[in-house]
Structure 1
Amino acid sequence: MSRENYHTRMQAPSGNAPLIFALHGTGGDEHQFFAFAQGLVPGAGVISPRGDVSEMGAARFFRRTGEGVYDMDDLARATAKMAAFVEDWKTAFPGSPAYAFGYSNGANILAAVMMARPDLFARVGLMHPLIPWDPAPVPALASTRILITAGERDPIGPLPRTKALADWAHAQGARVRLVTHEGGHELRPEEAVALQEEFAQAPQPIGA
């Protein structure tokens, strides 16, 4: 089963509450955002996988050859693997809308999956992403809510790249919100508040 693609910590949703996928950053694990994800939406399920790539002992979701330089073949592998993982978990809870957020490396794999499979998520939170390529159009993202957060002095995910990603998502017709702070690559409270605001809004019924 694709649900076994990763070492995963999970909590089932209550009723038709959302199923939230929480994707850690480099060096994190399945515990990094689990408690945080539990508090985003009452009764939400949480699926928190551990990245399957090790970079000098630090878990990641795909390989890179340098800071901001991605192994694109491995990213393609990881994207397909994560998409199958998400799809299998969604099948297990068909009444629950799927939301997802990721930080840094987790945001990057999530963005790649979102672009490849725009049908998987109703809401997405990309926290400090870096997409160092020009994505192809994905008009099927038109019904997706996308939150993007960034630090204005982030040396890992430069703000111009973040704004370019937000502009791209807006051009696809997605409902995009960009939240920035004056710091660097660290997560700040205003980002957590913005993600909770985006995820806590009442979802549309499945199939609506």
Structure 2
Amino acid sequence: MFLILFLIFVLIPVVELSVLIRVGEILGTWTTIGLVLFTAVLGVSLVRSQGLSTLMQVQQKLARGEAPGQEIVEGMMLAMAGVLLVIPGFVTDFIGLLLLTPLTRRPIAALVFKRMQLRVVSGLQGGMHGGFGSHADRQSNPFDQSPFEQHKHSEGNVYEGDFEHKTDANDAHKLVDKEAESKEPKV
């Protein structure tokens, strides 16, 4: 985790600055600033159009009764692409364009979706073989416990029982009389 945070907050900005300085030396300051602004505006408009296209694919799959897993992953990648394209710099713009272009986004999304499915399946299999279903987990997860186990491990007194609401004949007559009085016209 530390390595990922180090890359995001230290290494990427240093690389971006060095590339921006090098491009600024070659093309000039104003041309470089113009290119950075142009890629941000172009990226936002492309993210919008690709996002609408992906949303329509999700709706079509839902209408057919299919799960739109890969399209949801593509939508997350489009959101990441939008953030990367708005950040000033050419390296983040390049990565954002890779995530934005359908030619590269779809295979990456398929790979990410397949890895997500493998993690879910392996997690479920671990639950069947004692990984998630061990006794310690049953004590800590109230959804996996029977009502008896929940009461056995809870603190304090727990009383189970049934109740029945009973009215005697006098109470029933009083209710009928009150309803009749309320319906009578008042003079």
Larger Rg over CA atoms: 2
Higher helix share goes to which structure? 2
Please report the TM-score for the alignment, with normalisation by the length of structure 2: 0.24
Please report the TM-score for the alignment, with normalisation by the length of structure 1: 0.22
